[in-house]
A and B are shown apart, each in its own frame.
Chain A
């Protein structure tokens, strides 16, 4: 994941996020109140939301070896 923060003149910051580097065709953009520091603090939340909302775009996680269906991981 890569992101870019652009500070706007109206007191907001635009956070542009891309998952191209993960071979996922997904880009997001969100406006955040405050400066670069505020936007930076929001990066992990925005990334998590995108990964959750567009989970179908990301490769499914591999099952641990020896794990069978119905068995709980410890």
Chain B
């Protein structure tokens, strides 16, 4: 039957009630509910109602619970455990790095091959050093030691030795003596002997030497152009020195003064002096004797011819106060280096006056 063939449910007032069509019973049935809401049935995508288990939605609850139970039973590592594991991994990594370095070093070594080691081993096995052999060797070494001791302390005499030179040949001997470059030594001695015999002091040589030196009683030779024996020439030189000494004594004690003329001194007049008069006024002006200052002058003499006035001298900035005063009738002398031109200025302290000037 279909739902449209059935009458819907009504309440006491003949009004339709909340209802639904139940195809199983082929009847409309009143909607049930609780807490103010109507009952609902959940359906899955396959059009079937979602299942429930023990009043709960069967949301694969079993599988989830199984998995949760399994997880709960697992012994998970804690954060502290993981940190410890990480630390150990790092230690292991450092050790691995050290091992890698060692392996690199070993890779660079020139190890003996297996073949080489086998050859050495075979040789040792073929001729091993036995105790008997070592005893024999010790006996022989002891005998050699005893002989060396005998040679050293002279109890058994010295063994014969043959000396060899750097060329690998035995050193030769002559008349049972070592040929220590005997030929060269003999040649040198012979040459020395010849030289001594050829240059020995003979009577003739001594006479010639005596003649050259002369005798103490030889007459002094003071003429430098004359020939003479050494003693005669020395006596002549001594005589001249004594004469010179006497003259020096005469100069120093004043009994025979030396006549000396000095040249090149500024005290010497070497050119004609220039003389003249100059009027000195209250205006400072240069002082010289001629029309201009004498070239290369050595000396400047200025005489104040006034009987009452004085003047002052100095350089170009001379004044009536700072100049050097020259009293009436006084004379002032300046000496110069001829190579340096030095102007001298004069200024009167009062009226104009005349001065006599001389330049050398």
A-B contact pairs, 14 of them (CB 8 A): A10-B316, A11-B316, A31-B343, A32-B283, A32-B285, A33-B285, A33-B316, A33-B318, A38-B283, A46-B279, A49-B276, A49-B279, A53-B291, A54-B291
Chain A residues with CB under 8 Å of chain B are 10-12, 26-34, 38, 41-42, 45-46, 48-50, 52-54
Q: 19 extra interchain contacts, Cβ-Cβ under 8 A, other than A29-B291, A45-B285?
A: A11-B317, A27-B291, A28-B291, A30-B292, A31-B343, A32-B283, A33-B283, A33-B284, A33-B285, A34-B283, A34-B284, A38-B283, A42-B283, A45-B279, A45-B352, A46-B285, A53-B276, A53-B291, A54-B291
Q: How far is the CA of A70 from the CA of B291 in the complex (A)?
A: 34
- Taking the nearest CB of chain B, how far is it from the CB of A12, in angstroms? 5
Q: How far is the CA of A53 from the CA of B278 in the complex (A)?
A: 9
Chain B residues with CB under 8 Å of chain A are 276-279, 281, 283-286, 288-292, 316-318, 343, 345, 347, 352
Q: How far is the CA of A33 from the CA of B313 in the complex (A)?
A: 12
What A residues does B290 contact at CB under 8 A?
A: 28, 53
Interface of B is mostly: loop
What A residues does B277 contact at CB under 8 A?
A: 49, 52-53
Q: How far is the CA of A58 from the CA of B345 in the complex (A)?
A: 28
Q: Which one of B277, B286, B345 has the highest number of Cβ atoms from chain A below 10 Å of its Cβ?
A: B286
Q: How far is the CA of A49 from the CA of B353 in the complex (A)?
A: 12
- Taking the nearest CB of chain B, how far is it from the CB of A32, in angstroms? 5
Interface of A is mostly: mixed
Q: How far is the CA of A54 from the CA of B284 in the complex (A)?
A: 23
Q: How far is the CA of A53 from the CA of B356 in the complex (A)?
A: 11
- Cβ B285 vs Cβ A42 within 8 A: yes
Q: How far is the CA of A11 from the CA of B284 in the complex (A)?
A: 12
Using A27-B291, A49-B277, A53-B289 as known contacts, say yes or no to A12 and B283 having CB atoms under 8 A apart. no
Using A10-B316, A31-B316, A54-B291 as known contacts, say yes or no to A45 and B286 having CB atoms under 8 A apart. no
Chain B: CB-nearest residue to A38: B283
- Taking the nearest CB of chain A, how far is it from the CB of B351, in angstroms? 12
Q: How far is the CA of A31 from the CA of B344 in the complex (A)?
A: 10
What A residues does B285 contact at CB under 8 A?
A: 30-33, 42, 45-46
- Cβ A49 vs Cβ B292 within 8 A: no
What B residues does A27 contact at CB under 8 A?
A: 291
What B residues does A49 contact at CB under 8 A?
A: 276-279
Q: How far is the CA of A54 from the CA of B290 in the complex (A)?
A: 8
